[in-house]
Amino acid sequence: MAVTVRYFASLREALGPQESVDWSPALTLASLRLQLVARDAAHAAALAPGRALRCALNQVMADESAAVADGAEVAFFPPVTGG
C-alpha cells in the first residue's frame, strides 16, 4: 500500500515537505505515526507519541483512529501553524 505523507510547519523543517511510504493494509493514522517514529532519530523526535500533532486524511481533519487506504494523502502538523 502506497501512502503520501506531508509535513507542515516545524515538521516540514525537520523532515522535509513529504515522503512516500509503503505499508501493509489495515493501517490507521496512529499506526502510521508509530511506524514513522521507528524510522530514524529525526522522525522519532518530530512525531513522538507524546507530542501534540494534528492529522489530516485526504485533506480532511481526522482522528488518529481513522483507517488509511491505498493511495491516501496523510498530513501531520502542529496544532497551531502560522499563515
In a domain, 19, yes or no: yes
- Total domains present in the chain: 1
Residue 39 within a domain: yes
Q: Is residue 82 one of the residues assigned to a domain?
A: no
Domain carrying residue 33 = 2-77
83 falls within a domain = no
Q: Check if the beta carbon of residue 25 is closer than 8 Å to that of residue 34.
A: no
CA angle in degrees (0–180, nearest 5) for 47-51-55: 65
Task: Answer whether residue 41 is part of any domain.
Answer: yes
pTM of the model: 0.89
| Model confidence pLDDT, tens digit, residues 25-81 | 668 999 999 999 999 999 999 999 989 999 999 999 999 999 999 899 999 999 875
Which has the closest alpha carbon to 53: 16, 11, 19? 11
**CATH number for the domain that contains residue 69:** 3.10.20.30
